[in-house]
Amino acid sequence: MKRTIIAIYNFYIEGFKNMTWGRQLWWVILLKVIILFLVLRAFFFRPVLAGKSEQQKIEHISNELINRK
Amino acid sequence: MVETALVDWSRLQFAMTAGYHWLFVPLTLGLAVIMAIMETVYVVTGDEFWKKTAKFWMKLFGINFAVGIATGIILEFEFGTNFSNYSWFVGDIFGAPLAIEGILAFFMEATFFAVMFFGWGKVSKRFHLAATWLTGIGAAISAIWILVANSWMQHPVGMEFNPDTVRHEMVDFWALVLNPVAISKFFHSVFSGWMTGAVFAIGVSCWYLLKKREMRFALASIRVAAIVGIVGTFAVMFSGDSSAVHVAEYQPMKLAAAEGLENGGQRAPFSIVPGLEVPGVLSVLATHDINGFVPGINNLLDGYTTPNGEVMPSAEQKIERGKRAIAAFGEYRALSGSDPAGAAEARKVLDENIDYFGYGYIDSPQELVPPVGLVYWAFRIMVGLGGALLLLMCVVLWAVYKKRLASMSWLQWAALLSIPLVYIAGQAGWIVAECGRQPWVIEGLLPVKAAVSSVSVAAVQTTFFVFVAIFTLFLVIELRILTNAIKKGPEIE
């Protein structure tokens, strides 16, 4: 089991080390993830219901649905 | 009252994000099959040429995948921020398929994708081939769950509304998964991906022919891609046929809008373009019967009686029942802690009218009509381009087998210039599906105006333009990496 895990680990590490054209793609992915999660998620997309308890969420949504015109 | 601008901007932002996401998905689905077939030929014949050919398309697949990865996550951000009412209201119905998709996608892609790219020479040929096929199958399986969630919004099944939690709760998982809309939508979407991958591969290969380089590679790639594309297009046509029947049954207003059909009836005509109609064809497409009854926009608004005597309510009647449902829901919420008998009575009224809940937010029947011009033309663009691309792929395949393609530069140019057309066809298809179901987020249960969060219009506008900027940047990066890889070529000859 341990040998299998080590073999899988080495497979990934060697794969990443020997990347040629794939390297710049990983930079693109990294840049995208940073923009998505550290910028957009943190500053622009705060879930409206975040921080509310379950009951508060239910009250909030039911008020929205009952009173929405 | 919720601002119209907020509804429109939220809708536009979601449409833009989904449209951008769909630039990457179909190419992933299509190239996966093409490269897997090529690798299969390599494993069967042992010819290194096919290994190098497969590796080149894998490279383009990898670039497209890397740039497209996580673009769908933004849609989930938008659910929480711009569509919080919707997100809560749908409950686990939407969350469960998306969670399965996320987990499956992660494990299948992290495993098989890695073997496919890192495993050359480290694992056996057959194991590598299996990983390549499983990468493609994994992408298709991911699509199933997304489309199950989407189809539930088009035709909600397998759930019950719980007024205590204000959520729809899943009562029948298999009804959700085996939703007929989901099945036809899955095949229609996946096979349209085959078309996209095929047209892309043929176009890129024809660029090499125009440049008089990589000739063997280009012709071999075209042969595989054209067969995949032709098979895919016929499958798109068959799944589109069953999709039309489902739309006629579950979303008749969408069909009426897509046809610009104001007054329906039996032997309903199919409109090729305005003023040019073929009698009876719409009835055949919608019901598989030339005498089938297809309601038009006015029938659906005014109410109608089907030939077998079924009386369909008017929009006004549905709106009235919707308002009754919302009022009963409010009453239930107010009484549930203090007056059990009153709450039970309100619950009864709510249950009787729950199917019309969303109509209670509609102010006038005209709101129930989607943008007819947009849906009508999007449908014709989708079908027209699909037909033209099928013809092109057939001609290209014929020219390859007759060994004439290398000298037909006009056909090579036509194939190259077709690459954007297959994307336009795919986007047009989604415009039909999504704009055609307006004003609904969930058919009959929740219109967009009730689904959006009470956030400021300025916030939605800001994020819209931030997205446009970021998406454009990533698209430019992708095109640059992709064109560089294509210019470099497969390095075979």
φ, ψ of residue B336 in degrees (nearest 5)? -60, -25
Token pair 């087998």 in the structure block, residue: B401
Three-state SS for A45-68 is: CCCCCCCCCHHHHHHHHHHHHHHC
Contacts of B18 (CB under 8 A, 6+ apart): B75, B430, B434
Helix axes B409-417, B180-210, angle to 10 degrees: 140
Q: How far is CA B449 from the centre of its chain?
A: 22
Residue B155 · residue B444 · CB < 8 Å = no
What six digits make up the tokens of B58? Answer: 């894998």
Best B55, B88, B319, B453 member to test A by mutation, with max A CBs in 10 Å, is B88
The residue of chain B with its CA nearest to that of A42 is B77
pLDDT tens digits for B109-118?
778 988 998 8
Considering only the beta carbons, identify the residue of A16, A41, A64 that sits closest to B77.
A41
Indicate the SS3 state at residue B295.
coil
> B228-244: per-residue pLDDT in tens?
999 999 999 999 999 99
- The shortest CB-CB distance from B470 to any of A14, A35, A57 is to A35
Give the angle subtended at the CA of B22 by the CAs of A25 and B129, to the nearest 5°: 55
Distance from CA of B319 to the nearest CA of A (A): 13
**Rounded CA gap, A37 and A23, in Å?**
21
Give chain A's length.
69
Q: Does B389 touch chain A (CB under 8 A)?
A: no
* Chain segment B248-305, per-residue pLDDT in tens: 999 999 999 999 999 999 999 999 999 899 999 999 999 999 999 999 999 999 999 9
Q: Chain A to chain B, count of Cβ pairs less than 8 Å apart?
A: 107
Reported as a pLDDT band with limits 50, 70 and 90, residue B77 is confident
Name the residue type at position B16: M
pTM of the model: 0.92
Closest residue, chain A, to B324 (C-alpha): A66
Is the complex ipTM higher than 0.90? Answer: no
Instruction: Note the pLDDT tens digit of each residue in B192-203.
Output: 999 999 999 999
Q: Answer yes or no: do A28 and B67 touch at CB < 8 A.
A: yes
**A11, pLDDT greater than 90:** no
- B286 CA to centre of own chain: 20
Q: Which residue of B has its CA nearest to A39?
A: B466
Written as six digits, the tokens of B294 are: 């297809």
Give buried/exposed letters for B460-470 (b at 16+ CB in 10 A, else e).
beebbeebeeb
CB contact under 8 A, B361 and A62: no
Q: Read off the pLDDT of each residue in B91-107 and give the average, rounded to a whole number.
A: 77
Question: What pLDDT, on a 0 to 100 scale, did the predictor assign at position B101?
Answer: 77
Q: What is the pLDDT of residue B97?
A: 77
Residue B443 has pLDDT above 90, yes or no: yes
Indicate the domain borders of chain A.
Answer: 2-67
Residue B399 has pLDDT above 80, yes or no: yes
CB-nearest partner of B117 from A22, A35, A46: A22
B80, A45: Cβ pair inside 8 Å?
A: yes
Q: Which of B357, B359, B362 is nearest to B330 (CA)?
A: B357
| pLDDT of B493 higher than 60 | no
Other C-beta atoms lying within 10 Å of the C-beta of residue B49: 17
pLDDT at position B483, please?
94
Using an 8 Å CB-CB cutoff, list chain A residues near B459.
44
The pLDDT of residue B72 is 79
Confidence of residue B353 (pLDDT cuts 50, 70, 90): very high
Report the percentage of chain B scoring pLDDT > 90.
Answer: 80
Query: Which residue is associated with the tokens 């029948």?
Result: B172
Q: Are B475 and B63 in contact (CB under 8 A)?
A: no
Q: Do B66 and A26 touch (CB under 8 A)?
A: yes
Residues 6+ apart with CB under 8 A from B439: B362, B367, B368, B370, B447, B448, B449
Residue (of B60, B203, B77) closest to B460 by Cα position:
B77
Angle at B104 between CA B101 and CA B107, to 5 degrees: 145
Average pLDDT over residues B352-363: 96
Q: Which residues 2-61 of A are in CB contact (within 8 Å) with B? A: 11-12, 14-16, 18, 21-22, 24-26, 28-29, 32-33, 35-36, 40-41, 44-50, 57-58, 61
pLDDT tens, position by position, B139-176: 888 888 889 999 999 999 999 999 999 999 999 999 99
Contacts of B130 (CB under 8 A, 6+ apart): none
Residue among B152, B36, B166 at smallest CA distance from B88? B166
In sequence order, which residues have a C-beta less than 8 Å from that of residue B122 and are 6 or more positions away? A11, A14
DSSP B60-103: HHHHHHHHHTTTTHHHHHHHHHH-HHHHHHHTHHHHHHHHHHHH
Instruction: Point out the residue among B80, B165, B449 whose CB comes nearest to the CB of A47.
Output: B80
Is-contact B439 B447, C-beta < 8 A? yes
Are the C-beta atoms of residues B435 and B371 closer than 8 Å to each other? yes
- Find the helix packing angle between B4-45 and B419-435, rounded to 10°: 130
The pair of structure tokens assigned to B390 is 């099928």
